[in-house]
Chain A
Amino acid sequence: MLYSLKNLWRRKTRTILTILGIVIGIIALTVLGSLASRMTSQVKGNRSWFVDGISVTPGSVSGMQTRSRGYFEASKAVEVEAVPGVRSVNVDLSVPLELPGAADLTIVAQGMDLSRTDKRVKNLKIAAGRHLEDGETGKTVIGSNISESLGVEAGGSIKLNGVDLEVVGVLEATLSVPDRIAFVSIENAREILSGYFPDSRLGTVANSIRAFPEVGIDPADLAETIEGRVSGVNVRTPEEAEKDIAQFTFIFNAIILGVALIALVVGGLSVINTMVMAVSERKREIGVKKAIGADTSAILGEIMMESSLIGFFGGLIGVMTGTAIVLVLNSLSIRNEVTVFTITPFIVVGPVLFATVLGIAAGFFPALRAARLDPVDALSED
């Protein structure tokens, strides 16, 4: 190995340039990889939030869809619950808000029907304090982003659209949607919403109903039944939500794969080029070694050891640089309460392995050429 390092050092500039070629590919791989793993963890966090239950949102009878902005009477929930096969329903009213004191953070005040246990909320882990109880008003459980940017802990209070709320709990960070949600009772949500429309009476509006099927009922079938029986609603099954998420993940994985392929081709070709040059420069030496008894595997091993070291160092430097870039970007964006990248052990080890294997593979062809050299020809070379 020391011998291979010395050999590589004979052509410093060329070796360094080749390593650099790999470094660039690996940087791209690391940065995009951490971006992807951030996305994936976000998607996973979102998953339990979105996928659970059949989502029923306001739609228009005329066919014009007004998905998230629309409202319907909470009494729709009664209609939905009456559909055979529906075990239970939750009624939500979510109100988008700019956070006072953190102007660039958009949050959602999520009004929940607290009389019903809602798995989606109960599944979220509390970092401090507790969940909301049935019948509580004027209280809120807030996501980690809200807590951080306002500096509010459990026991503190916040004001949303003029409504004062006591913070009874702070959720653990999920790196996804719930981090920016303030959970309140649906009555409080209506108050917060009415801050936008001070003159009108909002009565008992809601903008989302979650229907949970009875055991043994197919959610897709039930969604169809609901759509048929309840007018003026859009229905989304868990499967559809899954599909969206899967497509999203797929696109990101495709991008990573594309970058990996480019890194593979560019890095691989430059390693091949470098090693072919090294072999032709060292023809005579290889001839000598063969003459004094080096067999095919000894020559193969020597050349491939060098190319794998090029790959390894390229991978190592690339990952270190890429990780440094990610950490700098994260520390820049942390002020905006968004961490864009997540570094996992796989993102650190993966590219180094990838580059090393690439080096070994790219070294194989030049190594084979070296091993097949005729010693007499190689020795007469100069």
Chain B
Amino acid sequence: MALIEARRVSKHYRLGGQEIKAVDELDLSIDRAEFLAVMGPSGSGKTTLLNLLGCLASPDKGSLKIDGEETAALSKAMRTKIRREKVGFIFQEFNLIPILNAVENVELPLKYQGATKDERRRRANIALERVGLSERAKHKPSQMSGGEQQRVAIARALAAEPAIVLADEPTGELDTENTSKLLELLKDLNRDFGQTFVIVTHDPAVSGFTNRVVRLRDGKVESDSA
């Protein structure tokens, strides 16, 4: 059974009387431990799709099963629960909490899961180690480079060991050198720990890291290399 199973999923926005089909009757299934790149022109619905897969937004129509559970009609609280337990997010702008240091940022999802202080710290340190930033644990985001901040954000997404990691243009704010380092890191993590990665990217180099690239156009899957 696929980990994520989207059937004829739609998300439409109404903007000034005009209907925008951000995601339109889209079919997609993603297996466990896959490393999937989502590409497509601006406005093709990549972010919207990721928000749906991560239960940040709910579809207007269609069915979306995560881990066998139908999520299309779930309440806000239930969707929060799924995000907390099954999903890790990596954002383009890193989105670390500026007043928290690296390890405190990484602990955050564990805190929301109700882990004890010791447990939180232990697992956050493991996650930081995986992204190679153990020595920066006490540093604030403002004291780190963009590449380092994004690695902290990856550690945060991984800390609770979610089944799915969703990344929306995670390299968008990084230079080419950092971009390939980061993509390599994500691929290594995918290989070593078997989590499912869905990565939205404009970087053509990503095809060197994965054999599955999904291309979107106008809210639909234009091509799927799988």
Contact = CB atoms under 8 A, between A and B. Distances in A.
Interface of A: 3, 6-7, 10, 284-285, 288-296, 298, 375-376, 379
Given A3-B99, A285-B97, A292 B57 contact: no
Given A3-B99, A284-B95, A285-B97, A292 B51 contact: no
Contacts of B56: 291, 375-376, 379
Given A285-B97, A293-B112, A296-B77, A379 B91 contact: yes
15 contacts: A3-B100, A285-B95, A285-B97, A289-B112, A291-B89, A292-B88, A292-B109, A293-B81, A293-B84, A293-B112, A294-B80, A295-B84, A375-B56, A376-B57, A379-B95
B156 interface: yes
Nearest to B109: A292
Contacts of A7: 99
B121 interface: no
A289 B108 contact: yes
A293 B109 CA distance: 6
Given A288-B91, A375-B56, A293 B99 contact: no
Given A288-B91, A375-B56, A376-B51, A293 B80 contact: yes
A291 B54 contact: yes
Most chain B CB atoms below 10 A, which of A7, A291, A298, A375: A291
A84 B17 CA distance: 95
Contacts of A293: 80-81, 83-85, 109, 112-113, 160
Contacts of B83: 291-293
Contacts of B95: 284-285, 288, 379
Contacts of B157: 292
A295 B112 contact: yes
A7 B77 CA distance: 26
Contacts of B100: 3
Interface in B98-145: 99-100, 108-109, 112-113
Contacts of B57: 376
B112 A294 contact: yes
B89 A292 contact: yes
A288 B56 CA distance: 11
Contacts of B113: 293
A292 B99 contact: no
Contacts of A379: 56, 91, 95
Contacts of B97: 285, 288-289
Interface string B148-159: 000000001100
Contacts of B109: 292-293
Contacts of B77: 295-296
A151 B112 CA distance: 69
Secondary structure at the B interface, as helix, strand, loop or mixed, is helix
A292 B156 contact: yes
A285 B91 CA distance: 12
A295 B80 contact: yes
Interface residues of B, number: 24
Contacts of A294: 80, 112
Interface string B71-94: 000000100110111001101000
Contacts of B88: 292
Nearest to B54: A291
A88 B91 CA distance: 92
A285 B108 CA distance: 12
Interface string B44-67: 000000010010110000000000
A35 B48 CA distance: 63
Nearest to A291: B89
A379 B95 CA distance: 9
A275 to B, nearest CB: 17
A16 B153 CA distance: 33
Contacts of B80: 290, 293-296
B91 A292 contact: no
A196 to B, nearest CB: 77
A138 to B, nearest CB: 79
Nearest to A284: B95
A80 to B, nearest CB: 79
A379 B54 CA distance: 14
A53 B56 CA distance: 78
Nearest to A10: B99
B140 to A, nearest CB: 11
A291 B82 CA distance: 10
Contacts of B84: 292-293, 295
A375 B58 CA distance: 11
Most chain A CB atoms below 10 A, which of B80, B81, B91: B80
A338 B174 CA distance: 74
A194 B109 CA distance: 90
A372 to B, nearest CB: 9
Nearest to A5: B99
B10 to A, nearest CB: 16
A202 B216 CA distance: 115
Contacts of B89: 288, 291-292
Contacts of B160: 293
A290 B80 CA distance: 7
B46 to A, nearest CB: 14
Nearest to B97: A285
Contacts of A376: 51, 56-57
A6 B156 contact: no
B95 to A, nearest CB: 5
